[in-house]
Amino acid sequence: MHNEIPDRERLIFALDVPSPSEAKALVEELGDNVCFFKLGLELFMADGYFGLVDWLRQKGKKIFVDLKFFDVPATVGRAVKQLSGRGITFATIHGNDAMMRAAVDSKGDVMILAVTVLTSLDRSDLDDLGFDCNVETLVVSRARRAVEYGCDGVVASGHESRSLRAALGDRFLIVTPGIRPVDNDDDQKRVVTVPQAFANGADYIVVGRPIRDAEDPRGVAETIQKQIKQAVKSE
């Protein structure tokens, strides 16, 4: 874990809503309890994605563009270059070595995170995709290549973070999605709690539905912030 990160920035809220107006309403509701926001494909398909990016920056928020670039390397490089200078902290790449190199070469002031294995996948899904190895082996292999090609970090489940730290040390950031503070009954399979994520080596956690769908999103976010502070203190 990287200790220089302010505790309250370690919580990234996934703004998985259909429109910028709904996203803005959630941001306002959460107030100072969340200062880092992930904007994914659902919002990208709505009008006003980059207007929302600018609005968040004006409010002093940090931004994670989670579009998981996967295309011809030259196209990936040009797409990543478009993000530079917009005040974006993270962007994701979900591709092979050439795509990662292209993203890193074009990143400017944006930090590139390589997606390892989606938290909605498990061993049976990897069998379907033709991977003849376990999840942990695949995650470590992808992370090793990401670090080698200059990515700033990886997106990885909390189940594999400990192995990543053991294999690769602290040379890179780990952003962990699939955080479930309570019982999980959705499509995420490889999930962990807040304390487990940080005990296993995460630098940041991404939380979406447990906050978004709560009766009191602001209260849940504040509870998670308290859990983060305690977890980081314990490390």
Task: List, for residues 110-129, the tens digit of each pLDDT value.
Answer: 999 999 865 554 545 444 54
pLDDT band of residue 141 (cuts 50, 70, 90) is: confident
Cα(205)–Cα(203) distance, rounded to whole angstroms?
7
Residue 149 in domain: yes
How far from 90 is each of 87, 166, 187, 204, CA to CA, in Å? 10, 24, 24, 11
pLDDT of residue 64: 98
Nearest to 23 by CA among 9, 37, 41, 8: 37
Within-domain flag for 97? yes
* Global confidence as pTM: 0.89
Q: Summarize pLDDT for 219-230 with one digit per residue, the tens.
A: 999 999 999 999
CA distances to 82, 102, 148, 197 from 108, in Å: 9, 12, 18, 29
User: pLDDT-derived band of residue 99, with 50, 70 and 90 as boundaries?
Assistant: very high
CATH of the domain at 131: 3.20.20.70
Residue 219 domain flag:
yes
Biggest distance spanned by C-alpha atoms of the chain: 47
Total structural domains within the chain: 1
Is 114 within the bounds of a domain? yes
Rg (CA), the chain: 17
**16 assigned to some structural domain:** no
Decide if pLDDT at 133 tops 60.
no
Query: What spatial distance separates the first Cα and last Cα of the chain, rounded to whole Å?
Result: 8
Q: Which of 38, 59, 62, 68 is catalytic?
A: 68
Q: Tell me which DSSP letter residue 110 carries.
A: P
Q: Is residue 39 part of a domain?
A: no
- Parent domain of 122: 65-234
CA angle 123, 66, 218 (to 5 degrees): 95
**What number is the average pLDDT over the span 30-47?**
96
Supply the pLDDT for residue 128. Answer: 52
Greater model confidence, 186 or 96: 96
Residue 5 lies in a domain: no
226 tagged catalytic: no
Q: Is residue 10 part of a domain?
A: no
